[in-house]
Amino acid sequence: MNCEILAVGSEMLTPFRQDTNSLYLTERMNALGVVLLAKGIIGDNRTVAAAAIRQSLARADILLLTGGLGPTMDDVTREAVALALGVDVVRDPDILTALYKRFAERRIPMPENNARQADVVRGAQPLPNPTGTAPGQWIDTVVDKHRKLIIMLPGVPSEMKAIFTAECEPRLREIIPPSFIAARMLRIAALPESEVDSRTAPIYTTYTDVETTILAANSEIQLHFRSTAVTKDRAQKRVDELCGRVEDELGEAVFSSHGETLEQVVLFFLEMRGETLSTAESCTGGLVAQRITSVPGSSRSYLGGAVVYANEMKTEFADVPTKLLHEHGAVSRPVAAALAEGIRERTGSTLGLGITGVAGPGGGSPETPVGLVYIALADGRETVIKERRFSGDRDRVRWLASMLALDMVRRHIM
Amino acid sequence: MNCEILAVGSEMLTPFRQDTNSLYLTERMNALGVVLLAKGIIGDNRTVAAAAIRQSLARADILLLTGGLGPTMDDVTREAVALALGVDVVRDPDILTALYKRFAERRIPMPENNARQADVVRGAQPLPNPTGTAPGQWIDTVVDKHRKLIIMLPGVPSEMKAIFTAECEPRLREIIPPSFIAARMLRIAALPESEVDSRTAPIYTTYTDVETTILAANSEIQLHFRSTAVTKDRAQKRVDELCGRVEDELGEAVFSSHGETLEQVVLFFLEMRGETLSTAESCTGGLVAQRITSVPGSSRSYLGGAVVYANEMKTEFADVPTKLLHEHGAVSRPVAAALAEGIRERTGSTLGLGITGVAGPGGGSPETPVGLVYIALADGRETVIKERRFSGDRDRVRWLASMLALDMVRRHIM
């Protein structure tokens, strides 16, 4: 079975607000074995909303609507659903009584437009709202000879969740044939998307019962696998099997097979191997430290580090010899190595990471152009140095440098 | 004129990912005077995508599509647009040559599937992509006797923005009749939303020709003002007038009146006053350093700092006396002050910032609960210390601490 979600509200068509209810509903519907076909956001316009509702009902078995159930003239969901189905709305006397009672209890007169919240699409079942005034509505009907469910929920997240959990999930479980979705994600660093695809497509295309999505984001590649089957075990088995074969193909380029972030994986291995890390960052300016310390418990393996923006700081905090800075310049292979070795010595960590480069947009030169980055990892026996020329703006150069630095630590300790 | 936005990508139909490109595009289109009618998210399915495209074209003058332009078989936007328009796709020899050249420069053979990125919908104009491989596409056509623009952009935000700014905005400005929208935003730190609203509502409600939106996000409050008028000057005058009155009311709580970030404002004032800054961070783990150094040119006023996670590092890098750490504990008022004073001395900066706290979720105690943070700012004459008990998860506590720290610097030098 499949569903669509429509969020109704003009404020979600501004640059400032986003629909987030659909993330919750997607997760709950997926858990019931229902796939999301599409989702949409529409404004407070009855005609546009009715057209969108008709289009969704032509494709999906279940349509979930959030928002637009309040008392104002902007709240058009009830009328739009009625218009799409070719029926009228009827004022429900029980809901109306409850509304009057609610206002009376607070000793305030009920504004006239509040009565609109008692309007129910003909044929709909009201869904009690334990925390707000607008009830949800449940419609079980036939459109073009197909059974369709239409579920209308308030836009306030807490009310939406309360009604969905108490009223909709039990009803849906009775209607939806039990099926289960298993999902997993592999995360890959330092490989281009096209290479990941060309190496893995011969594997994943043979799994017609597993849906594979490749996604490039923030300089990592994610492979998402999803499968639906009659039992949870069966779906999970197929996803795990495909995951395993893809991992065999990509080897240690896969840094995460259960959704962990790169920094989580680095900290996991550091702790497992009894290693400790420190950082001396120039061009990344604390980004690597910040990413590592964003993980709870990072203090067990990460000792600390220095943000050595000015040259004097490189000497003060990581003992980089002034001579080295003068001879080779701050952005150079020897200075990267000296940063890594110096911070390791100073902090007493087993591993030291040193990063220097030109993040841009200014500060570049023919010898050290914008995007040039040196990253060094010292373990006391040897120091590995990588040179890269990253393209993109300041944020991107810094982010790519932090990805490579963390991945160097990961590969070293794995 | 009006537009719709469709984001293409199955990953945005999972509970884990959300389309954010549409927020940027909405803001830019609004600035051009174009209203957003609806937006949608569709999966990597050519038929469903083509149907959604047809529906959008039936309503909107302009259709913006993001995502689905990559090299893999999952990337269906090109084919879906062609299907919706009833035309075919043609492989563009110039784009193909550029792709081969790009891979040759990196000395890696081009995987065969990359050639798909050279496929152009018949009648479309390719839009060069300065930072990635997939070009955008621009279609100016007639559907059912109405002129329609279809703009296809990559899903990677940086590429989408680069192409939209360089290629689409100039073309759109020639096509769209000029309308006069003025917009401004005030950003406010360290005041609750309800207080901002109750203090400013008496002012902004008298400006019926200016639309005011209050938004709370990332521990700051944004006040957005928009006005449409018969001339640009008239619209701008009304917005500026309202802005000025609201600024008078809120005073120095307003940290930005032209969209600057807090870190940009801090660096601007540091440079203007000839001050320099250094940081010693425990619980924020480099977040403040990273935020400051994300601003181009920050090296002029920010010397560097230390991430002093372990107690020994607090002594090693910021000269915090061991005795102080033992007597008061790492999370204490005196240690925050010692961090600020120590890092200031060590780096020779005019201002030193020290931050210590419990970001959680672990590490809390009855004396130092999760969320407790001390922030100190030393200027050589006096050291100001603030104590806060933030609520929320690790990320939120760290973020709120970094906001307060930066705001303390701002208020000090203003």
Read off the pLDDT of residues B144-179 as tens digits, 9 standing for 90 and up.
999 999 999 999 998 999 999 999 999 999 998 877
What does CATH list as the number for A180-256? Answer: 3.30.70.2860
Given B11, B42, B310, which is nearest A224 (Cβ)?
A: B11
Distance from CA of B112 to the nearest CA of A (A): 8
Give the span between the Cα atoms of B233 and B176, in whole angstroms. Answer: 19
pLDDT at B180 over 80: no
Does residue B91 or residue B177 have the better pLDDT?
A: B91
Given A24, A55, A194, which is nearest B114 (Cβ)?
A: A194
B-chain residues near A197 (CB < 8 A): 71-72, 111, 113
Inter-chain residue contact B74 with A213, CB threshold 8 Å: yes
Task: Return the pLDDT at A249.
Answer: 95
List phi, psi (to 5°) of A353: -115, 130
Inter-chain residue contact A43 with B37, CB threshold 8 Å: yes
Inter-chain residue contact A195 with B111, CB threshold 8 Å: yes
Give the span between the Cα atoms of A337 and A321, in whole angstroms. Answer: 12
Give the least confident one: A275-289, B198-212, B273-287, B324-338.
B198-212
Task: Return the pLDDT at B320.
Answer: 96
Given A38, A303, A308, which is nearest B313 (Cβ)?
A: A303
Residue of A214, A226, A281, A396 best to disrupt the B interface, most CBs of B under 10 A: A214
Inter-chain residue contact B18 with A18, CB threshold 8 Å: yes
Q: What percent of chain B has pLDDT over 90?
A: 72
Give the span between the Cα atoms of A213 and A398, in whole angstroms. Answer: 27
Distances (CA, A) of A347 to A125, B274, B323: 67, 32, 20
DSSP A175-188: HSPP-EEEEEEEEE
Distance from CA of A97 to the nearest CA of B (A): 32
Fold of B2-175: Molybdenum Cofactor Biosythetic Enzyme; Chain A (3.40.980)
Task: Return the pLDDT at B191.
Answer: 78
pLDDT at A230 over 90: no
B-chain residues near A347 (CB < 8 A): 310, 312-313, 316
Can you give the length of chain B in residues?
Answer: 414
Give the span between the Cα atoms of A221 and A407, in whole angstroms. Answer: 13
Give which of B263, B345, B338 is closest to B301, Cα–Cα: B263
Give the span between the Cα atoms of A264 and A245, in whole angstroms. Answer: 23
List phi, psi (to 5°) of B277: -130, 145
Distances (CA, A) of A388 to A309, B260, B329: 19, 31, 42
Task: Return the pLDDT at A60.
Answer: 95
By C-alpha distance, the chain B residue nearest A212 is B74
Does residue A391 or residue B344 have the better pLDDT?
A: B344
DSSP state of B252: G
Query: What angle, rounded to 10 degrees, do the helices at A262-273 and A394-413 form?
Result: 30
A-chain residues near B16 (CB < 8 A): 23
Q: Is B259 helix (H, G, I), strand (E, B) or coil?
A: coil
Inter-chain residue contact B398 with A294, CB threshold 8 Å: yes
Inter-chain residue contact A392 with B131, CB threshold 8 Å: yes
Give which of A405, A388, A391 is closest to A262, Cα–Cα: A405
For A331-383, the pLDDT digits (tens) are: 999 999 999 999 999 999 999 999 999 998 988 999 999 999 999 999 999 99
By C-alpha distance, the chain A residue nearest B6 is A40
ipTM computed for the complex: 0.75
Q: Which range is most confident: A11-20, A171-180, B258-267?
A: B258-267
Under 8 Å CB pairs connecting chains A and B tally to 239
Inter-chain residue contact A52 with B38, CB threshold 8 Å: yes
Distance from CA of B229 to the nearest CA of A (A): 19
Give the span between the Cα atoms of B407 and B265, in whole angstroms. Answer: 9
| Displacement of CA A53 from its chain's centroid (Å) | 27
Give the span between the Cα atoms of A360 and A225, in whole angstroms. Answer: 38
Inter-chain residue contact A307 with B307, CB threshold 8 Å: yes
Inter-chain residue contact B215 with A299, CB threshold 8 Å: no
DSSP A304-324: EEEE--SHHHHHHHH---HHH
Q: Is A339 helix (H, G, I), strand (E, B) or coil?
A: helix
H/E stretch holding A404? helix A394-413
Can you give the length of chain A in residues?
Answer: 414
Fold of A262-413: Maf protein (3.90.950)
DSSP A228-274: EESSHHHHHHHHHHHHHHHHHHHGGGEEESSS--HHHHHHHHHHHHT
Check: CB of residue A262 under 8 Å from CB of residue A407: yes
Inter-chain residue contact B15 with A37, CB threshold 8 Å: no
Task: Return the pLDDT at B325.
Answer: 96
Give the span between the Cα atoms of A377 and A212, in whole angstroms. Answer: 35
Q: Which tokens sit at B368?
A: 């130092």
Mean pLDDT, residues B12-19: 86
Mean pLDDT, residues B319-330: 96
Residue of A313, A314, A331, A349 best to disrupt the B interface, most CBs of B under 10 A: A313
Sheet holding B277-281, edge to edge: A383-389, A372-378, A351-357, A277-281, A302-307, B302-308, B277-281, B351-357, B372-378, B383-389
Query: What angle, rounded to 10 degrees, do the helices at B46-59 and B77-85 form?
Result: 50
* Domain layout of chain B by residue ranges: 2-175, 180-256, 262-413
A-chain residues near B312 (CB < 8 A): 303, 347-348
By C-alpha distance, the chain A residue nearest B308 is A304
Distance from CA of B412 to the nearest CA of A (A): 23
Residue of A181, A195, A213, A227 best to disrupt the B interface, most CBs of B under 10 A: A213
By C-alpha distance, the chain B residue nearest A191 is B108
Burial of A247 (0-12, 13-18, 19+ CB in 10 A): middle
Distance from CA of B312 to the nearest CA of A (A): 8
Give the span between the Cα atoms of A81 and A376, in whole angstroms. Answer: 61
Q: Which tokens sit at A392?
A: 């993109």
pTM for the structure as a whole: 0.77
pLDDT at A181 over 90: no
B-chain residues near A54 (CB < 8 A): none
Inter-chain residue contact A293 with B306, CB threshold 8 Å: no
Given B36, B288, B363, which is nearest A13 (Cβ)?
A: B36
Give the span between the Cα atoms of A196 and B201, in whole angstroms. Answer: 54
For A45-83, the pLDDT digits (tens) are: 899 999 999 999 999 999 999 999 988 777 899 999 999
